Amino acid sequence: MSPETAILCAVVLAALVFAYTNGFHDAANSLATAVSTRALTPRAAVTMAAVMNLIGAFLGEGVARTIGRDIIAPPHGADGLAVLLAALIGAIAWNVATWYKGMPSSSSHALVGGMIGAALASATTVEWTGVAINFALPMVVSPLIGGVVGYLVMLAILWGCRNTSPRRVGRKFRLAQSVSAAAMALGNGLQDAQKTMGVLVLALVTTGYQSTYDLPPWVVVSAAVAMSLGTLTGGGRIMRTLGRRMIQLDAPRGFAAESTVAVVSYATSFIWQVPISSTHTITSAIVGAGATRRLSAVRWGVAGDIVGVWLMTLPGAAAIAAAAYGALVLLTG
């Protein structure tokens, strides 16, 4: 086996490990609201999310092309593969660290941060226009939309159910949450699995195995399965932060948050074909839906900690990836 083939195999393995960590890290996004309101048991929620993540991964390719084509220029040869391997190491390390602390963070931010950090360390060209338009803009706008729409959806629910007893409303929306949580998990699979696919395709272009950014079937299947297996592992630490520590959710507010994120995920995947952070969007949607009760119902200290982690994610993953690239260069001589 040639050195380049060996590094390519390492990149593929690292990409699938990233997809796995993405699954158990972001599983909490799909599960937290439904489990915290007791609409679903933890086991049923995990199984449902894994299945819907798997299905969602097969429904589109636009986000994968954006990640593979518009963040960094295709690097060349073995050194180019070292760039991608370092990027994945940075993203994986950040995912594991924030999962251990029980803090929601964006796997998308971690991956793009890793790609930028490794590219800068290796003098690979960063496509700053693509980063700004296809990454930074949707990543900023989607949580704002999530918060506003979550608030408006919850207002509509309160108005529509104003003459219905709270117990009856809660019972109906616990049933409705089974649908909204599944829809959100489908959107999560549609968005997040494609990010791993994008890196794998970029690795194939880098080594000359293919010249286009079309997705081979094995790339789609392997990324989908790896992410779904990660989802089955679950994300209890982050689930508690989103579903209980930040705000005490009820079924209507859980439904409002989940349905909001599902719509945003589908729109950005099918219409604009840009990556978003489901973590950021569900967190802001939960805050928006919860704020209809009263602003003090949101534990703003916890929300502030989450925002702090968000702001640290991209530079943190970039720094780890840059250090990893330096170490890889030393090891490979």
> For residue 309, is pLDDT > 90?
no
Pair 112, 131: CB distance under 8 Å = yes
Give the C-alpha separation, 63 to 23, whole Å: 17
φ/ψ of 203, rounded to 5, equals -65, -40
Give the C-alpha separation, 230 to 110, whole Å: 17
> For residue 175, is pLDDT > 80?
yes
| Pairwise pLDDT comparison (35 vs 82), residue with the higher score | 82
Q: Which among 11, 3, 5 is positioned nearest to 82, based on CA atoms?
A: 11
Mean pLDDT for the stretch of residues 30-45: 78
- One DSSP character per residue, 171-184 reads HHHHHHHHHHHHHH
The per-residue pLDDT for 297 is 57
Q: What is the mean pLDDT of the chain?
A: 88
- One DSSP character per residue, 97-160 reads HHHHHT----HHHHHHHHHHHHHHHHTPPB-HHHHIIIIIHHHHHHHHHHHHHHHHHHHHHHHH
Q: Output the six-digit token pair for 152.
A: 């408006």
Q: How confident is the model at residue 29 (pLDDT cuts 50, 70, 90)?
A: low
> For residue 300, is pLDDT > 80?
no
Q: Which of 180-184, 188-192, 250-254, 305-309 has the lowest mean pLDDT?
A: 305-309
Encode pLDDT of 67-113 as tens digits.
999 999 988 877 899 999 999 999 999 999 988 887 778 899 999 99
> For residue 328, is pLDDT > 70?
yes
The per-residue pLDDT for 295 is 63
The per-residue pLDDT for 241 is 54
